[in-house]
Amino acid sequence: MKSLIELFSFVSKILFPNLCVSCSKYLGNHAEVICNACYSNIPIESAFKCYGCKKRTPTISGKIRACKCGYKFIVGAPNHYSTSGLNHLITALKYKGTIKAAKPLGNLLCSFIKESKLKIANFIIIPVPLSKTREKERGYNQAELITFEFLKQITDQTLVYQKDVLKRTRDTLSQAKIQSYESRKNNLLNAFQVINVSLIKGKYILLIDDVITSGATAIEASNTLIKAGARKVIILTTARA
């Protein structure tokens, strides 16, 4: 039996070699999905940005100040979605079922937080939820997997992970299939609900998602949290479009 297992493993490695999702280089180690060269070539930005005027929002004494334009949503991302290597990792995780891609994406979020110097002690960490239907189709929530890997790298014991505090109340159309911002916004109207208000009331929230495009999903989720009593919501994604 052991020899058959070893033979199957040997044949599988030949037929399905483990290749870098970015450059297709043979990796050898099946625990990895991207080579060191491609991963190292992903630049890490050091500042959050106002999602209204797109200006950099400086981190002063470990805190992000409100933008002068008055827009209340702040977004942080390691880099743009078009960045080589980063887009391959997101595509692999979101559309190709490559769950292992969550690890390097979570690591990139950790690197971004360190570069930004944002102090996240006592923050509530919440992944953007998928609808039950979409999560069942995909088999997982990519934002949740990224959050889990991100938390593995963060040693701050004051962080509180709240997976089930924010819920999708209904199925919505895929945002990727909707073109205009207004239509995307209407598609997500009242699509989220806070289950236990006491868990987030007066708290700072770090809302994690895979990528932010129009911002409709993250902003609707953020609005829901703020209306439920959250003191401030900061959006953290692996990439911005």
Reported as a single tens digit per residue, the pLDDT across 58-115 is 888 898 888 888 888 899 999 999 999 999 999 999 999 999 999 999 999 999 999 9
pLDDT surpasses 50 at 29: yes
pLDDT for 134 equals 86
Mean pLDDT estimate for the chain: 87
DSSP 178: -
Q: Please give the Cα distance from 98 to 219 (Å, whole number).
A: 27
pLDDT for 5 equals 45
Q: Please give the Cα distance from 90 to 130 (Å, whole number).
A: 16
Set out the domains of the chain in order of their start, with CATH numbers.
1-41 (no CATH), 44-240 (3.40.50)
For the chain, percent of residues with pLDDT exceeding 90 = 63
**10 pLDDT band (50/70/90 cuts)?**
very low
